[in-house]
């Protein structure tokens, strides 16, 4: 299995297909929000971008669970592996996220809105806001709240789920539970505020646990059938093409969409299959230097892009209106390219100054603790 050297994960090699998928997901989310925040649209034939690219967040969830299984499973028998695991997770996520919290609170103060409610601040600092509706401070940061809750319970899951059969049972249980809880939360939400745009049933941890279960199952399945050529080169790619293309280019998703959100579950199955495929037999279209580069910076890209879109919106619209006269709706893709370029430039700064330093600080603490 081909691997590549990470710039910041010392003495550790990572799967290029998984990292490449992170890069793909980060760019998909940028294009999705260019429509929903930026207010411009691609030609109607590309309407699936504004409808479906937001599900890239669920791909992040699947990739996170897969990556944690890949990087942590072999360390279970090592001394203090749980403490090392939590140090790595905290120093990987907290520095940039806390920086963004400070920026948002500071911006609110400068705008005369005062300091955020202390309860919200505590919920965000402790990463427990995934349990409380509409309590996030950072735009788009809801997924961080979901991720961190999963990180907290992952060591227990790792100890309990050791076989493909156990992972499959957990997956089915998670899907059924998530659908039931999502439906209950949806109707509770609608009964409270039928006209509100924020539906807690989509953003809560309980509604998204099944995607992490998909990542765990994908890892164990790919580990067991890594050398089964028919599964990896024929069956899994076929599943990916049929499900994802069926959802992208037909009206299947909206047709099966309801309070249980079976459409998201089906997306998850397709993305899980994609994860298995690219982890074992990565394609050069995904596992390449460009998407690996984007994948390493995907956290910065994800947290920064909504802010950049909001503050560059007027300029983006002007560029779009000028280009639309010549190339019609395809001006969207030029704007998408320019926006992505701007996001990557800013993300490179936060990646180097905050993310990398946080990761290395965590590595230093682990090393010092072992030498003590």
pLDDT at site 195 = 63
Residue burial 147-176, b: 16+ Cβ < 10 Å; e: rest: bbbbbeebbebbeebeebeebbebbeebbe
pLDDT single digits (tens) 128-162:
998 988 889 999 899 999 999 999 999 999 999 99
pLDDT at site 196 = 61
Residues contacting 127, CB < 8 A, separation 6+: 93, 144, 145, 148, 149
Is residue 18 within 8 Å of residue 1, measured between CB atoms? no
pTM for the full predicted model: 0.94
pLDDT at site 336 = 97
pLDDT at site 197 = 66
Low-confidence ranges of the chain (pLDDT < 50): 1, 9-12
Residue 335 buriedness (CB in 10 A; 0-12 / 13-18 / 19+): buried
Question: Rounded to whole angstroms, how far apart are CA atoms 245 and 103?
Answer: 39
Tell how many helices (H) and how many strands (E) occur in the chain.
17, 2
Helices 81-110 and 118-125 meet at what angle, rounded to 10?
150
| Total count of residues recorded for the chain | 372
pLDDT at site 190 = 74
pLDDT single digits (tens) 256-312:
998 889 999 999 999 999 999 999 888 999 999 999 999 999 999 999 999 999 999
Domains of the chain, by residue range, sit at 4-371
Question: Rounded to whole angstroms, how far apart are CA atoms 335 and 259?
Answer: 34
pLDDT at site 174 = 97
Q: Which residue has the tokens 């939590």?
A: 86
């Amino acid at each position: 299995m081909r691997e590549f050297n990470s710039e910041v994960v010392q003495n550790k090699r990572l799967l290029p297909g998984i990292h490449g998928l992170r890069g793909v997901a980060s760019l998909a989310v940028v294009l999705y929000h260019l429509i929903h925040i930026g207010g411009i649209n691609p030609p109607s034939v590309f309407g699936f971008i504004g409808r479906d690219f937001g599900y890239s967040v669920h791909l992040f969830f699947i990739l996170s669970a897969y990556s944690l299984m890949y990087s942590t499973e072999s360390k279970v028998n090592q001394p203090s592996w749980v403490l090392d695991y939590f140090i790595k997770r905290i120093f990987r996520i907290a520095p940039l996220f806390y920086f963004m919290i400070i920026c948002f609170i500071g911006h609110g103060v400068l705008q005369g809105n005062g300091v955020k409610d202390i309860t919200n601040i505590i919920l965000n600092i402790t990463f427990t806001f995934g349990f409380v509706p509409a309590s996030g401070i950072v735009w788009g940061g809801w997924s961080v709240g979901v991720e961190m809750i999963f990180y907290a319970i992952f060591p227990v899951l790792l100890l309990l789920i050791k076989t493909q059969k156990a992972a499959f049972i957990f997956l089915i249980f998670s899907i059924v539970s998530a659908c039931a809880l999502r439906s209950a939360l949806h109707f509770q939400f609608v009964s409270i505020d039928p006209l509100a745009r924020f539906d807690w049933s989509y953003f809560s941890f309980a509604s998204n646990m099944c995607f992490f279960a998909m990542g765990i199952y994908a890892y164990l399945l790919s580990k067991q059938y890594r050398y089964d050529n028919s599964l990896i080169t024929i069956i899994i790619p076929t599943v990916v093409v049929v499900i994802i293309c069926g959802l992208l280019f037909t009206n299947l998703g909206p047709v099966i969409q309801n309070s249980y959100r079976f459409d998201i579950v089906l997306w998850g199955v397709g993305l899980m299959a994609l994860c298995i495929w690219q982890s074992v037999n990565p394609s050069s279209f995904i596992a390449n230097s460009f998407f690996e580069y984007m994948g390493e910076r995907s956290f910065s890209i994800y947290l920064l892009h909504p802010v950049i879109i909001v503050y560059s919106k007027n300029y983006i619209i002007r560029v779009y209106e000028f280009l639309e006269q010549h190339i019609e709706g395809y001006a969207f893709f030029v704007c998408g390219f320019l926006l992505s370029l701007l996001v990557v430039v800013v993300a490179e700064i936060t990646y180097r100054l905050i993310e990398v330093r946080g990761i290395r600080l965590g590595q230093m603490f682990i090393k010092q603790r072992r030498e003590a």
